[in-house]
């Protein structure tokens, strides 16, 4: 069992996103609790060459936020992450003093890193037949570019790590950052993820895996249908999501608004198959988080599911929830907000952690939209189609699972100030 008495409490004091559901917390809240989808026709020049022409794109123009000199050295992934980090610090009302800098760091998740820059390089070499690459190619493409841009911007000299565990990357980043604070290695951490993988090559690679949703021609925005009998797969998304994590003492000393407490974090590896979800692995992940939170399982009232909308994941995750929670699985609520914001891969866990934080903070459960034809094998309460209020929503969990098998779950607790 974890030893609560010897550790710092870790709280969430700032939130920021660039997402398919808007680039402010207010816009995100309005859309995600309003059941509004951000999935639409992909606005890219190569759309006619795609089998699946839909995605959850973020509306983000770097020129709105940075000089050309700044954004010209950054991949889209880093541009979104950097902007999000600046807004997160503002949202937290945090002044990063010289005294704080060595006690503050950045943990970021990303699946594909600088996918645009890597692909641009290949285009120059292999398609255009050029013999050399732009000088910034390495610096823009490397997976730790976004985290490093953030550390530079805010002059953070504490820990700076990038986690790449595919779809669970940013949940791992948040969980590991919370442990740093919990055990006294940092007072404040920026933690989250960023992903910008809507490139021709990356989408083609996903098409080849046959996990992408078919377009629902009756209404493209409804193409992602987690837990529904007629679900056909996931919808790729892009964006960045960053939380400001802080020790409770540090937050209280500066009078910060606390949105929730990170009570527990668990991670486990399926180690069964590179893509197929494992009920045992998912259950072990959730159990590890509950154990870390030092809670009885039946304290959990809401789970923001990984809920990709693939045939395999949604049944496996439902069965894993039943395995962990027993009869309580039918009392708690589960929802997949990917039905609205798509799958942000390396940023998915962080976006969903922010949504779960907002759920706990406002006592409101975001819905799983497009759930009109339930799968008999998915028989839990998935908050179908419409958000619902749950007074005293004290404990919630956010799940992330991944190709490669790394699962991560976070347990959040309401803070009454």
Sign of CA pseudo-dihedral 43, 203, 366, 397:
negative
Q: Smallest gap, in angstroms, from Cβ of residue 68 to another protein?
A: 5
Q: Smallest gap, in angstroms, from Cβ of residue 136 to another protein?
A: 7
> Radius of gyration over alpha carbons of the chain, in Å?
20
Cβ-contact 186, 103 below 8 angstroms: yes
Q: Is 416 in the site for another protein (CB under 8 A)?
A: no
Residue 140 vs 359, nearer CB to another protein = 140
Q: Smallest gap, in angstroms, from Cβ of residue 71 to another protein?
A: 10
Q: Is 142 in the site for another protein (CB under 8 A)?
A: no
Residue 72 vs 184, nearer CB to another protein = 72
Q: Smallest gap, in angstroms, from Cβ of residue 67 to another protein?
A: 5
Residue 136 vs 248, nearer CB to another protein = 136
User: Site for another protein (CB under 8 A): which residue of 5, 26, 68, 417?
Assistant: 68
Cβ-contact 172, 406 below 8 angstroms: yes
Alpha helix positions (H), 35-159: 68-71, 76-92, 115-122, 137-141, 145-154
Residue 49 CA neighbour count, 13 Å, CB half: 10
Q: Smallest gap, in angstroms, from Cβ of residue 134 to another protein?
A: 6
Sign of CA pseudo-dihedral 341, 346, 347, 348:
positive
Of the candidates 83, 91, 306, 341, the residue annotated as catalytic is 306
By rule CB under 8 A, what count of residues binds another protein? 10
User: Site for another protein (CB under 8 A): which residue of 86, 136, 142, 220?
Assistant: 136
Residue 72 vs 93, nearer CB to another protein = 72
Residue (of 246, 263, 264) closest to 255 by Cα position: 246
- Spatial separation of the C-alpha atoms in residues 67 and 79, rounded to whole Å: 11
Is residue 10 helix, strand or coil?
strand
Binding range to another protein, per CB under 8 A, among 64-72, 83-91, 200-208, 246-254: 64-72
Residue 67 vs 417, nearer CB to another protein = 67
Binding range to another protein, per CB under 8 A, among 107-115, 135-143, 291-299, 380-388: 135-143
User: Site for another protein (CB under 8 A): which residue of 44, 47, 50, 73?
Assistant: 73
Q: Is 134 in the site for another protein (CB under 8 A)?
A: yes
Residue (of 262, 190, 298) closest to 408 by Cα position: 262
Known catalytic membership, residue 167: yes
The secondary structure element, H or E, covering residue 400 is strand 395-400
Residue 78 vs 282, nearer CB to another protein = 78
Quickly list DSSP for 279-345.
Answer: HHHHHHHHHHHHHHHT--GGG--EEE------HHHHHHHHHHHHHHHGGGGGTSEEE-THHHH-B-G
Of the candidates 167, 224, 250, 341, the residue annotated as catalytic is 167
> What are the backbone dihedrals phi and psi of residue 330, each rounded to the nearest 5 degrees, phi first?
-90, -5
Q: Smallest gap, in angstroms, from Cβ of residue 130 to another protein?
A: 9
Residue 335 CA neighbour count, 13 Å, CB half: 30
Q: Is 139 in the site for another protein (CB under 8 A)?
A: yes
Q: Is 135 in the site for another protein (CB under 8 A)?
A: yes
Which residues are the active-site residues?
167, 306, 343
Positions touching another protein (CB under 8 A) are 67-69, 72-73, 132, 134-136, 139
């Amino acid at each position: 069992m974890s030893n609560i008495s010897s550790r710092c409490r870790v709280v969430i004091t700032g939130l920021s996103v660039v997402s398919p559901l808007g680039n402010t917390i207010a816009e995100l809240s309005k859309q995600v609790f309003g059941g509004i989808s951000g999935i639409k026709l992909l606005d890219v020049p190569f759309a006619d060459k795609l089998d699946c022409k839909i995605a959850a794109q973020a509306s983000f123009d770097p020129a709105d936020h940075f000089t050309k000199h700044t954004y010209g050295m950054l991949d889209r992934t880093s541009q979104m992450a950097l902007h999000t980090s600046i807004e997160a610090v503002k949202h937290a009302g945090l002044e990063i003093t010289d005294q704080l800098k060595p006690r503050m760091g950045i943990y970021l998740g990303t699946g594909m890193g600088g996918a645009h820059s890597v692909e641009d390089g290949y285009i120059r070499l292999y398609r255009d037949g050029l013999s050399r690459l732009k000088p910034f190619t390495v610096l823009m493409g490397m997976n730790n570019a976004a985290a490093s841009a953030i550390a530079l911007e805010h002059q953070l000299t504490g820990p700076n790590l990038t986690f790449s565990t595919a779809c669970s990357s940013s949940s791992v980043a948040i969980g590991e950052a919370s442990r740093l604070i919990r055990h006294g290695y940092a007072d404040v951490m920026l933690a989250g993820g960023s992903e910008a993988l809507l490139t021709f090559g990356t989408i083609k690679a996903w098409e080849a895996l046959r996990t992408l949703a078919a377009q629902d021609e009756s209404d493209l925005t409804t193409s992602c249908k987690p837990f529904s009998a007629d679900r056909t797969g996931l919808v790729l998304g892009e964006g960045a999501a960053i939380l400001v994590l802080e020790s409770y003492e540090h937050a209280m000393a500066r009078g910060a608004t606390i949105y929730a407490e990170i009570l527990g974090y668990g991670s486990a590896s399926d180690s069964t198959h590179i893509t197929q979800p494992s009920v045992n692995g998912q259950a072990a992940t959730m159990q590890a988080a509950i154990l870390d939170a030092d809670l009885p399982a039946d304290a959990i009232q809401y789970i923001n599911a990984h809920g990709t909308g693939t045939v395999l994941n949604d049944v496996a995750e439902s069965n894993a929830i039943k395995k962990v929670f027993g009869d309580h699985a039918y009392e708690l609520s589960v929802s997949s907000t990917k039905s609205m914001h798509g799958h942000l891969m390396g940023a998915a866990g962080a976006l969903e952690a922010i949504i779960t934080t907002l759920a706990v903070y406002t006592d409101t459960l975001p819905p799983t939209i497009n759930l009109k034809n339930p799968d008999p094998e998915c028989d839990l309460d998935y908050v179908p189609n419409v958000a619902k209020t749950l007074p005293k929503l004290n404990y919630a969990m956010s799940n992330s699972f991944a190709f490669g098998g790394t699962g991560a779950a976070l347990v959040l607790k309401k803070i009454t100030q």
